[in-house]
Structure 1
């Protein structure tokens, strides 16, 4: 069967075909552009996720650092308080020392059976040291300056004042 087609119809079909090809070509280009935009969006999403993971890791590390620094700060504050207390105690000791800075003109020497046992700033300190070593609490006699000392073998414990050299 042979069919007869008019020229006008043929031209209309050719025009329609050209329009369809142009539309298809434009649709292909648009599809390529959408594909490219989709790939670009996917790449951007992947980069954003990687950046987000890095930021989360960095934030976690910063939180750990902050906790460590807070611990160090607390330790330093405690140390500072101790240092302040130490300085205050040292100032108090220095004031006490300055108040008591009168020069001693003598020391009190503790002898045990005639041998040097220890040296003390006060006679009471010498007697306390002797008592700590077992000397009786009573029976202490003071030595009269200028009087003769009893022999050392006769006296178990003796406190004797001695002038300091260079004291005026």
Structure 2
């Protein structure tokens, strides 16, 4: 069987074939481009996943470091409180020592009827000693002027005189 095809139909078929081949070539090029891009996208996705893992590890380490630093900070705060308390205690002790040092150059001499009875570090201690020996609370006097030698005063039953140590003043 012989088929008769017109030239015009043949030319149209040839043109359609050329267009189909051009479209197929364009589709092949586009498919190759898509495959290449998908390969690139897989590479990018793999790198992104690796970076995400690295960032997770860095975050975990940072959390450990933060917990460690918070513990150190609490210890330093506690040490700071102790240091503050220690400084306050030292200031108190220094104040006491200074008061005692200021008193160390002065003693209180207790006289009974003008004769030396005892020597005391404070006036209160001298008063307590006099009262322990039977002095009435109003039975003794306190001299206001310090002196190195006692003045005999037999008519005064109890007398307290401050005396400077290390020489007269």
Q: Which residue of 2 aligns with 1:18?
A: 18
Q: 5+ residue gaps in structure 2?
A: 108-120, 122-164
Q: Distance in 2 between matches of 1:70 and 1:61?
A: 14
| Shift of residue 104, structure 1, vs aligned partner | 6.0
Structure 1 runs of 4+ off > 4 angstroms?
none
Q: Which has the higher contact order (CA 8 A, sep 6+)?
A: 1
| Shift of residue 2, structure 1, vs aligned partner | 3.2
Q: Distance in 2 between matches of 1:87 and 1:73?
A: 20
1:64-104 superposed Cα distances (whole Å, 9 cap, x missing partner): 00000000000000000110011000000000000000336
Aligned length: 110
Q: Which residue of 1 aligns with 2:27?
A: 27
Q: Distance in 2 between matches of 1:22 and 1:105?
A: 122
1:51 aligns with 2:76: no
Q: Distance in 1 between matches of 2:106 and 2:81?
A: 40
Q: 5+ residue gaps in structure 1?
A: 107-121, 123-165
CA RMSD of aligned residues (A): 2.0
| Shift of residue 37, structure 1, vs aligned partner | 1.7
Q: Which residue of 2 aligns with 1:6?
A: 6
